[in-house]
Amino acid sequence: MRITTPENDIAEVLFTEKQIAARVEALGMALTAEYGGKKPVMVCVLKGASFFYIDLCRQMNCQIDMDFISVSSYGAEAQSSGVVRLVKDLDTNITGRHVVLVEDIIDSGLTLSYLREFFGARRPASIRTISFLDKTARHASELKTDYCGFEVPDVFVVGYGLDYASYYRNLPYIGVLKPEVYS
Ligand code: IMP
Ligand code: MG
């Protein structure tokens, strides 16, 4: 019997659990400084941002609302389908509220621009984005996120919420998937 654990499919670790924790703590402090007293609505973009979102919210020392949305832009491929679909909407009315969209990774920037436009139409007081990872080389600079955890090169990464074909999300670090896994 062939025993496979997620680690077997990782070529390289880009960010360790420790590095991630330190970065998320710093981001939580920055958001606390900016949003203290504003009672922002923190919006988790499921499922990829889930670990980042929970850790980030835990590091914010101010009143926040927590809500979740789900979009789908990828099938079981390592390539964007180019189509964004809202699968689960917010429960919270965001009109007049300060909104922070929490994303896992900006690749083409398509999901980010769709979400900004879609939720911006509900007239929030402000809308900003924070993405755990950003593949800056893959998109135009106007699609930049307001806050970012780490910049990553154009490689397919998994772990800390990010998946390939819905697996690997539970790895506690960010790793590069071996190309033979998806080719
Ligand atoms: P975009 O719309 O092209 O910016 O794609 C964003 C979405 O694609 C993210 O929310 C992820 O779900 C997925 N994605 C892009 N690159 C990666 C990657 O390297 N690993 C895992 N998911 C990725
Ligand atoms: Mg995904």
| pLDDT tens column, 127-157 | 999 999 999 998 888 889 999 999 999 999 9
pLDDT at 37: 95
pLDDT at 72: 82
Of 9, 107, 146, 154, the active-site residue reads 107
Q: Ligand 1 atom closest to Cα of 163?
A: 21
Q: 162: Cβ below 6 Å to ligand 1?
A: yes
Active site includes 107? yes
pLDDT at 139: 86
pLDDT at 77: 55
Q: Is 0.85 topped by the overall pTM?
A: yes
Q: 48: Cβ below 6 Å to ligand 1?
A: yes
pLDDT at 183: 82
Answer yes or no: are the C-beta atoms of 159 and 171 closer than 8 Å: yes
Q: Ligand 1 atom closest to Cα of 135?
A: 16
pLDDT at 40: 98
Largest CA distance in the chain: 58
Q: Which of 74, 84, 101, 158 to mutate for ligand 1's pocket (most ligand atoms within 8 Å of CB)?
A: 74
Q: Ligand 1 atom closest to Cα of 139?
A: 4
Distance CA 3, CA 30 (A): 43
pLDDT at 79: 58
- Is residue 76 classed exposed, middle or buried when 0-12, 13-18 and 19+ CB atoms within 10 A define those classes? exposed
25 C-alpha vs ligand 1 centroid, how far in Å? Answer: 23
- Ligand found nearest the CA of 76: 2
Ligand 1, atom 15: nearest CA belongs to which residue?
A: 107
CA dihedral 61, 59, 91, 118 (to 10 degrees): 110
Q: 168: Cβ below 6 Å to ligand 1?
A: no
Regions of the chain with pLDDT less than 70: 1-3, 73-82
pLDDT at 6: 87
